Amino acid sequence: MTTVDLDRPPAEDATAGRTYVRHVDGPRPAPSRGRRQLSAVTASERAIGVGSGFAALALAWLLCFQLLPWGSPLGFVVVAFVLYLAIVTVTTSVVSPGPAVADRVAAAAITGGAAVVAIGLVSTIVFIFVRAAPALPHLSMYTHDMAGVGPRDPLTQGGLLHAIVGSVIQVGIAIVVTVPLALGAAVYMTEVGGRFARVIRTVVEAMTALPSIVAGLFIYTVLLLQLGMSKSGFAAAMALSVMMLPIIARAADVVLRVVPSGLREASLALGASRWRTVWHVVLPTARPGLATALILGVARGVGETSPVLLTSGASTFLVTNPFGQQMNSLPLFVFSTVRSGEPLFIQRGFAAAAVLLALVLVLFALARFLARPRGRR
């Protein structure tokens, strides 16, 4: 609903501009019923909603826990929701005509679907942080690596330092490689144009379909097997670059394309060269959008496990040299610890997942901050 604001209360001065006509004689006018409430929920509607809710919960409880062996939280919620839809249909159809029934049921179904998604997202985030909570307060998590830490060693020993540093180094290299290339290609596609630019755009868009695991396998085959490099942070960074390059280039292209062409033409009409137009008009206009595109691409790269799984190897100790040595990273650490089956390792894996998730949340908030509308800056 963009234009009709049904929820606004009637203006206070609704009667201010009224014209009063004094009745001299004749029949009395019908008593004013006041201004009609357009959006307020009527008492009967509210009663139907609340009553159906209670009825559905009670019936679902009866069905799930007393009559049928369906007693699980998920089953209860699903059964209650389906029953709610059914009961609302019946009760509304008693008092309202057909379209109102359809409206009510559709509203309940759509709101329910959105609520399921919200539950999914919230449960994911809460689940990760709750499971990570026992491990997160230990300072050693952030200051130590896993060198010499066995599966039985308590959480106070060892930490995630190597994974955090590895992730930062790998993604840093990937950013250095991809951002100039992606930005340059995007500028060429939008500002220079022509047939060649269309070819580039087509190929870049096609390559965004490349599954990340295939990007990893490509780097594994070319760099590691054919060129004989060893598993290293650099190889992982290359795999991430191959994956991120089309994504960032395409996002930057989209952002640059929505720069109003009026601005460009104004700059050119004032006698600026094309290069100056790009540097002083187009790029500054698109800066928030470009930053968002870049940061979201980076967030994607940080969390991507499959290319790293094939190319970096997993060291247990701090490695800062991206060449020649195996290097761990956060997603890979999560993956390997969770697969190990050792309870304390899984705990550490959750801590790493929480750090990763926090990193992504921070990057995301940063992207939102940069992309916020201009008026509020």
The CB-of-43 to another protein minimum distance in angstroms stands at: 19
- Restricting to residues 219-238, name those near another protein by CB under 8 A: 220-222, 225
Give yes or no for a contact between 237 and 177, defined as CB atoms under 8 angstroms apart.
Answer: yes
Closest CA relative to residue 207, chosen from 168, 257, 253: 253
Q: How far apart are CA 201 and CA 103, in angstroms?
A: 44
H-run or E-run covering 298:
helix 283-303
Among 57, 59, 86, 109, binds another protein (CB under 8 A): 109
By C-beta, is 9 or 29 nearer to another protein? 9
Check binding of 2 to another protein (CB under 8 A).
Answer: yes
Of 112, 138, 283, 316, the residue at the interface with another protein (CB under 8 A) is: 112
Residue among 123 and 321 whose Cβ is closer to another protein: 123
Nearer to another protein, 145 or 253 (CB): 253
Nearest to 149 by CA among 348, 338, 353, 330: 348
Q: Are 347 and 134 in contact (CB under 8 A)?
A: yes
116 binding another protein? (CB under 8 A):
yes
| Minimum CB distance to another protein smaller for 142 or for 369 | 369
Report long-range pairs for 219-228 (Cβ below 8 Å, ≥24 apart): 219/307, 219/310, 219/311, 220/310, 220/311, 223/311, 224/311
How far, in Å, CA of 202 to CA of 184, rounded? 16
286 lines the binding site for another protein (CB under 8 A):
no
We find the least distance from the C-beta atom of residue 15 to another protein, in angstroms, to be: 25
283 near another protein (CB under 8 A):
no
Start-to-end C-alpha separation, the chain: 26
Q: Are 224 and 276 contacting, i.e. CB atoms less than 8 angstroms apart?
A: no
When the beta carbons of 86 and 371 are compared against another protein, the nearer one is 371
Residue 205 binds another protein (CB under 8 A): yes
133 binds another protein (CB under 8 A): no
Give yes or no for residue 302 binding another protein (CB under 8 A). Answer: yes
CB of 75 to another protein, least distance (A): 7
Does residue number 366 form part of the binding site for another protein (CB under 8 A)?
no
Does 119 participate in binding another protein (rule CB under 8 A)?
A: no
- In whole angstroms, the minimum distance from the beta carbon of 267 to another protein comes to 12
Positions 8 through 67 that interact with another protein (CB under 8 A)? none
Reported for 353-362, long-range contacts at CB under 8 A and 24+ positions apart, including other chains, are 353/128, 353/132, 354/128, 354/129, 354/132, 354/136, 355/160, 355/164, 355/330, 356/167, 356/302, 356/303, 356/330, 356/331, 357/125, 357/128, 357/129, 359/167, 359/302, 359/330, 360/299, 360/302, 360/303
CA distance 248 to 252: 6
Q: Which one, 126 or 147, has the nearer CB to another protein? A: 126
Site for another protein in 140-179 (CB under 8 A): none
Decide whether 35 or 339 has the Cβ nearer to another protein.
339
Measured from the CB of residue 136, what is the shortest distance to another protein in angstroms?
A: 15
Among 275, 343, 375, 376, which residue sits at the site for another protein (rule: CB under 8 A)? 275
DSSP-derived letter for residue 147 is T
Q: Is 113 in the site for another protein (CB under 8 A)?
A: yes
Q: Is 263 in the site for another protein (CB under 8 A)?
A: yes
**For another protein, which residue of 14, 62, 67, 110 counts as binding (CB under 8 A)?**
110
Least distance from another protein to the Cβ atom of residue 30, Å: 24
- Are 137 and 355 a contacting pair, CB within 8 Å? no
If binding is defined by CB under 8 A, does position 261 make contact with another protein? yes
